[in-house]
Amino acid sequence: MNILRSFFGGISQFIGTFIASFKKPMATSINSIRGFIISLLVGLFVAIVAVGVQPFGLSEFTNDAKTLYLIGFGIVAFVGMLVAKFVLPSILSNFYNDQQWTVGRQIVHLSATILIVGTLIMLYSNYFNITALTFVDILKTVAVCILPIAITTFIQQKLFHNKFSTTAENINSSLESINPPASKQLFPVMVFGESGQKLSLIPNQLIYAETSKDSTDFYWQSLMGVEKTTVQTPLAQVEKELSAHPQFVRLHRNFVINMRGIHKVEGNARGYRLRIARTKHEIPVSWKFHKKLEQIGQ
């Protein structure tokens, strides 16, 4: 009986671990410049293969403009990638939340991408009678690709996790020694807001600012603790006011942060997150600002 309990307990633990592995954080290139570049490269690759290798019966296709028709496969693949990287996320915004992106979602997304690209290629090929493709062929391709997709995703997750977690530890070890340049003003006072409500702070008071289209939430240190004040001022005005104070850095499109307010940097396969001093707040670091954060810790 104990042997059976141990056996089934081991199986249950294995299944739990297996399921949990699909919930691990993962980086994504949806709705980003990286996503556009990847789409372009995929389209280019498909065009080169179609023209150079001519697989799946393409070599038997005859037409005076054959090369242009074959290049068309690359264009169709590029369009399909854009649909998967930009259109699909706008339709399924809850699923494509980049702050909740996981290994499992990445595998589903890549499988859906192959399905979308393959379906568009099938429609293109059949419309111009280039080579006969069926939807069953596309489904078979997706089924064959799932295992390589899963293996590649798990490897990528592991590499990203090791890179960002290790670098985050290195940055944390040097946080206390970070000494941002002094303000360019002799008596620095920052004023935010042009009309109505205004907020005046000295640089060390401001912990960070979160901006939206027309307003900004300022989190600042008062005698009573950390306070939040919303002012009707856009990001451009905030950055202009902070430009004279080098201790403030932009590490996300919506956040400007006081380097002295960074309590800890955390890293996983999704990238970096900042824990802010004297608050429970966490701020994500956009991929395009990763190098900037890493340079701060050097």
Q: What is the pLDDT of residues 105-139, one digit of tens each?
A: 999 999 999 999 999 999 999 999 998 888 999 99
**Helix, strand and coil percent figures for the chain, each rounded to 5:** 55, 20, 30
- Label residue 145 exposed, middle or buried (CB < 10 Å: 0-12, 13-18, 19+): middle
Q: What is the pLDDT of residue 186?
A: 59
Instruction: Give φ, ψ of 278 to 5 degrees.
Output: 65, 15
**Are the beta carbons of 39 and 85 closer than 8 angstroms?**
yes
> In this predicted structure, what is the pLDDT of residue 184?
61
Closest by CA to 26, choosing from 124, 224, 160, 135, is 160
Rg from Cα positions in the chain: 26
- pTM above threshold 0.85: no
Mean pLDDT of the chain: 86
- At 284, the amino acid letter reads P
Confidence grade of residue 185 (pLDDT, cut at 50, 70, 90):
low
